[in-house]
Amino acid sequence: MKKLWLLLCLVLISPALFLSGCGEEQALNSYALVLTYDDETKSAQGACAVDYVNTSNNAFDSVLFHLYPNAFSQEGEGLVCSTSNEAKTYPNGKSYGGIEITSVKVGGSEAEYSVEGEAGMLLNVKLLQQLFPDERVKIEIDFVLILPNANHRFGYGDNAVNFGNFYPIACVYEEGEGFMDEGYIANGDPFYSNVANYSVTVSYPKNFKIACSGDNLKTGENGQYLTTTFNANNVRDVSFVLSQNFNVVSAKSGDCQIDYYYYDDADPQGSLGTAVKAVQFYGKSFGEYPYSSLAVVQTNFVHGGMEYPRLVMIADTVSGVDYDYVIAHEIAHQWWYGVVGNDEYHEAWLDESLTEFSTALFFENYTEYNISYNQIISGAEENYKFFLQIYDKIQGEVDSSMLRALNEFSTEPEYVNNIYTRGILLFDTLRSEIGDKKLLSTLKGYYKEFAYQNVSSSEFIAYFSSKAGRNLEKFFDSWLNGKVEFVYV
Ligand SMILES: [Zn+2]
């Protein structure tokens, strides 16, 4: 996600399906989603059939799924946005939504299940018999979605309906930890998932257009509805946006089709051009973009933008060069979070800080935007120093650690300044320490080595140390754990 602290602003601020190309074969879950959206009631009927595989070393009695839409329910009060963002999120007043589970089958038979956890954000599906390592089981979940009137990942606004994090998605299972069941929180992107294969069928009223995160196989007419089917393989999530107002312009970057959906943009070709340059630049710098399409979607959204594999949301409230900045930032996430994944709840810096740094590299390369790399870095230094001073004054101390869970950041500015601002400074310092050539070759190797996997901070540090030819543990420790208090004094 891109929070708009940006630039010069001084806000404080199936059958077995396998991966290929990363050298390892890994069994994947396979999702078939069918959804019908009713615009009158702002609701959707859905069915999610998961061909689920146990990739752990343990036998499972049950499988846990995230029900993120329930963060938008009344019980989830305060989970989706900070108090300061409420007016932007709910311009027409507070509105609630959620997901109701209506039926669960396992292997074709009705199964026991329970909706659990904070605000009912977890679905626990009891298996009829133990699922042993490498075994598969079919889990079918029927549900009803109620969309909130909210400018958020999940919800409808004046111009578009966002379907982000909208379906039951399997929690990642970690050896020694179990299912990773953390819920929603207003800071950051509280998501963590494994790559999977998806087939999605969406029906929606005829007067809407759809922007989706996959290969649009076909769209057919069915009475008053259109039905679109799209596929996406080796992705860690799927999403789509509906709007009655979408215009579309398209271009190619190599074999990748880039579609820009917009309803309020005086220079759509310029925005599309930024997206194309971003895909080209990151592809050249870090490694090829592996998917055949990317949707860049203008929509109603409380923050600057939001990334999903093969689809990025760009807020319609952003304008000017900030708009290009958000496009470049969200597209960098296709590499960091999309292809190379991580636990965004516990180790947000891994994708967010690297994405912010990658965005600075983009603007260093394309001088026509008049945002220089040095300007970005010096702006970050100023913002970070300002943050330290203010927090020191207000609280008598500052927590400048980056490596903590999202719920351990006490305020939004504390999160933004440590993860984005301190994060970009970390990578700028690393650049000075190991040099441009080494840094870029290491990022290329990192992308290739960990494509479609989830990386931990310790794996990241070990990889960078091995490629830099020196132990970088102390370097990362001082940055990540906040031991260097005033780095730029
Ligand atoms: Zn981001």
Please check whether residue 334 lies inside any domain of the structure.
yes
Query: Measured in angstroms, how far is the CA atom of residue 269 from the centroid of ligand 1?
Result: 23
Please check whether residue 349 lies inside any domain of the structure.
no
Query: Measured in angstroms, how far is the CA atom of residue 316 from the centroid of ligand 1?
Result: 17
Show the domain range for 49. 29-339
pLDDT of 489 reads 41
Of residues 226 and 393, more confidence is placed in 226
Specify whether 378 is located in the same domain as 331. Answer: no
Helix (H, G, I), strand (E, B), or coil: what is residue 159? coil
Specify whether 384 is located in the same domain as 470. Answer: yes
Please check whether residue 18 lies inside any domain of the structure.
no
Query: Measured in angstroms, how far is the CA atom of residue 108 from the centroid of ligand 1?
Result: 40
Please check whether residue 5 lies inside any domain of the structure.
no
Please check whether residue 9 lies inside any domain of the structure.
no
Query: Measured in angstroms, how far is the CA atom of residue 145 from the centroid of ligand 1?
Result: 26
* 25-34, 230-239, 277-286, 309-318: segment of lowest average pLDDT: 25-34
Asked if the model's pLDDT at residue 15 lies above 60, the reply is no
Specify whether 153 is located in the same domain as 124. Answer: yes
Specify whether 319 is located in the same domain as 359. Answer: no
Last residue of a domain, one of 311, 339, 367: 339
Confidence label for 7 from pLDDT (cuts 50, 70 and 90): very low
Average pLDDT over residues 417-424: 96
How many folded domains does the chain comprise? 2
Query: Measured in angstroms, how far is the CA atom of residue 106 from the centroid of ligand 1?
Result: 37
Query: Measured in angstroms, how far is the CA atom of residue 199 from the centroid of ligand 1?
Result: 26
Confidence label for 4 from pLDDT (cuts 50, 70 and 90): low
pLDDT of 144 reads 98
Asked if the model's pLDDT at residue 167 lies above 50, the reply is yes
* 79-88, 215-224, 279-288: segment of lowest average pLDDT: 215-224
Query: Measured in angstroms, how far is the CA atom of residue 336 from the centroid of ligand 1?
Result: 9
Task: Quote the CA–CA distance of 38 and 223 in Å, as a whole number.
Answer: 13
Q: Provide long-range contacts, Cβ within 8 A and 24+ apart, for 161-164.
A: 161/37, 161/39, 161/42, 161/208, 161/241, 161/242, 161/243, 162/239, 162/241, 162/299, 162/300, 162/301, 162/313, 163/35, 163/239, 163/240, 163/241, 163/242, 164/239, 164/306, 164/308, 164/313
Query: Measured in angstroms, how far is the CA atom of residue 140 from the centroid of ligand 1?
Result: 33
Query: Measured in angstroms, how far is the CA atom of residue 356 from the centroid of ligand 1?
Result: 7
Query: Measured in angstroms, how far is the CA atom of residue 339 from the centroid of ligand 1?
Result: 14
Query: Measured in angstroms, how far is the CA atom of residue 6 from the centroid of ligand 1?
Result: 11
Please check whether residue 92 lies inside any domain of the structure.
yes
Last residue of a domain, one of 307, 339, 371: 339
Specify whether 316 is located in the same domain as 364. Answer: no
Asked if the model's pLDDT at residue 244 lies above 90, the reply is yes
Query: Measured in angstroms, how far is the CA atom of residue 143 from the centroid of ligand 1?
Result: 30
Query: Measured in angstroms, how far is the CA atom of residue 326 from the centroid of ligand 1?
Result: 9
Task: Quote the CA–CA distance of 363 and 12 in Å, as a whole number.
Answer: 23
The overall longest dimension of the chain from CA atoms, in Å, is 66
Q: Which residues surround ligand 1, an ion (CB under 5 A)?
A: 1-2, 355
Backbone phi and psi for residue 267, each to the nearest 5 degrees, phi listed first = -135, 70
Last residue of a domain, one of 310, 339, 368: 339
Query: Measured in angstroms, how far is the CA atom of residue 463 from the centroid of ligand 1?
Result: 23
Q: Which of 182, 296, 230, 193 is nearest to 32 (CA)?
A: 230
Please check whether residue 362 lies inside any domain of the structure.
yes
Query: Measured in angstroms, how far is the CA atom of residue 247 from the centroid of ligand 1?
Result: 25
Q: Which of 212, 168, 218, 176 is nearest to 193 (CA)?
A: 168
Query: Measured in angstroms, how far is the CA atom of residue 420 from the centroid of ligand 1?
Result: 8
pLDDT of 24 reads 52
Query: Measured in angstroms, how far is the CA atom of residue 117 from the centroid of ligand 1?
Result: 27
Asked if the model's pLDDT at residue 22 lies above 50, the reply is no
- CATH number for the domain including 49? 2.60.40.1730
pLDDT of 35 reads 98
Specify whether 245 is located in the same domain as 369. Answer: no
User: How high does pLDDT run on average in the chain?
Assistant: 93
Specify whether 416 is located in the same domain as 446. Answer: yes
Query: Measured in angstroms, how far is the CA atom of residue 207 from the centroid of ligand 1?
Result: 32
- In this predicted model, what pLDDT tens digit does every residue of 331-348 receive, in sequence order? 999 999 999 999 999 999
Query: Measured in angstroms, how far is the CA atom of residue 127 from the centroid of ligand 1?
Result: 37
Alpha helices in 29-177 (DSSP H): 86-89
Specify whether 331 is located in the same domain as 387. Answer: no
pLDDT of 60 reads 98
Specify whether 116 is located in the same domain as 52. Answer: yes
- CATH number for the domain including 427? 1.10.390.10
Please check whether residue 485 lies inside any domain of the structure.
no
Asked if the model's pLDDT at residue 20 lies above 80, the reply is no
Specify whether 331 is located in the same domain as 415. Answer: no
Specify whether 137 is located in the same domain as 277. Answer: yes
Query: Measured in angstroms, how far is the CA atom of residue 44 from the centroid of ligand 1?
Result: 28
Specify whether 358 is located in the same domain as 307. Answer: no
Task: Quote the CA–CA distance of 236 and 321 in Å, as a whole number.
Answer: 30
Task: Quote the CA–CA distance of 162 and 332 in Å, as a whole number.
Answer: 21
Query: Measured in angstroms, how far is the CA atom of residue 317 from the centroid of ligand 1?
Result: 17
